[in-house]
Structure 1
Amino acid sequence: VRSFKVWLKGFKSEKEARDYKSQGHFENSFIVRED
């Protein structure tokens, strides 16, 4: 299994990013928070 890290920036909040993910755009992705 090959996995790739995909960094998405520009979301206003973690909830917004999770809402985007939950729409099925990135099925096997996970949210990473940068401070």
Structure 2
Amino acid sequence: MMKTAQLTIASGANNGAAFGIAFRAHPPVSSFSPRSV
């Protein structure tokens, strides 16, 4: 059970890092939307 939890945390960290890179590479579309201005 502990091993599964560690794998889940590691997977979440990897997904978070990938999301962060994608987020930096492509800012949210809402920032370019007239509604946000």
Alignment TM-score, normalising by the size of structure 1: 0.33
Query: Rg bigger for which structure?
Result: 2
- Give the TM-score of the pair, scaled to structure 2: 0.31
Structure number with higher relative contact order (C-alpha < 8 Å, ≥ 6 residues apart): 1
